[in-house]
Amino acid sequence: MSIPIVNYLVLEPQPHLVAQECAACKSKFFGRHNACPKCFGDTFAEFAVPTTGVLKTFTIVHHDAKGVPVPYCAAIIDCGGMTVSGNIIGVDPDPEIITRGMQVQLKTYSLGTDAEGVEAIGFGFEPV
């Protein structure tokens, strides 16, 4: 039994992110909306976000709230024209290694299991 870190991470059959797409103007965003922020349309469809993308910008966070493991690389990824927020994982959080324009792909990992044995699944992006 497993549970994703957020409801827009879909684990089966292959892990991917799901956005809402405005039926009228095709703009895309994560999370439920009452109306489209661009055209005010109120009909939405689900959109499977491409699992590969390009790293647009990043930071290496060294100081964060107690309980957040540091350092980590927070980044903004362009996945086929959709802006996605996520961490760069699978490499050292080092600005000599992580570069803008880098090709990355979605990867999931375990965040541990709770008292009932349910495994939580997080996601990040790994250099291709």
Partner 1 sequence: MSENVWILGIHMTPFGKRADKDVLDLAAEAALAALKDAGVTMKDMQVMGYGNLRGGTSGQSLQKQIGQTGIPSFNVSNACATGSTAMRAVIMAIKAGEADMGIAVGVEKLYGAGLLTGNSVDSGPETWTPTGRNGAIKNLDGYIGTSGMAGLFAQIGMAYNDSDPRADFELFARISEKSHSHSTLNPNAAYQNKMSLEQIMNDPMIAYPHTRSMCSANCDGAAASVIVSETKLRTLSLEQQRRAVKISASILASDPWTEASQEFPDVSTVTRNAAVAAYEQAGLGPDDLDLVELHDCFAAAELVHYDNLGLCEPGGAIDFFNSGATWRDGKLPVNVSGGLQSKGHPIAATGIANIWEVATHLRGEAGPRQIQGAKAGMAHVIGLGSSCTVHILEKSGL
Q: Contacts with partner 1 in 15-34 (CB under 8 A)?
A: 27-32
Is residue 30 within 8 Å of 17, Cβ to Cβ? yes
Distance, CA of 66 to CA of 58 (rounded, Å): 21
> Cis peptide leading into 71, omega within 30 of 0?
yes
How many residues bind partner 1, per CB under 8 A? Answer: 50
Distance, CA of 84 to CA of 31 (rounded, Å): 12
Whole-number minimum distance, CB 14 to partner 1, in Å? 19
Task: Rule CB under 8 A: choose which of 54, 122, 126, 127 binds partner 1.
Answer: 122
Q: Contacts with partner 1 in 102-121 (CB under 8 A)?
A: 111, 114-116, 118, 120
Q: Contacts with partner 1 in 65-94 (CB under 8 A)?
A: 65-70, 72, 74-76, 81-87
